[in-house]
Amino acid sequence: MSRDFVFRRSWGERLSTGVFTGYTYSGHAVSCAAGLGVMRLLKAERSVDEIAAAGNYLLAAAKDKLKQPIVGEVGKTC
């Protein structure tokens, strides 16, 4: 049995009306699991703390280097 035959046999009738795969923010289990995995990794490696420290360093450097009449304000948004 070919996989095309199996696919057509199991999905052929459903595809005649179009394919619906869900909505972008439907809470799909795989997407949720991937997001949780990323959050655990960021927490375990303390990546957010490192990023915040680097951001503060870059902000201070930018404020110092961009003291030009054309630059109104340098700041962070979060």
Q: What is the pLDDT of residues 2-11, one digit of tens each?
A: 666 666 666 6
Reduce the DSSP state of residue 18 to 3 states and report it.
coil
Q: Phi and psi dihedrals of 26, rounded to 5?
A: -85, 0
Specify the pTM: 0.41
Instruction: Give tens-digit pLDDT for 11-49.
Output: 666 565 555 666 666 667 788 888 899 999 988 989 888
φ and ψ at residue 65, rounded to 5 degrees: -75, -25
Cβ-Cβ contacts under 8 Å for 59 (sequence gap 6 or more)? 74, 75, 76
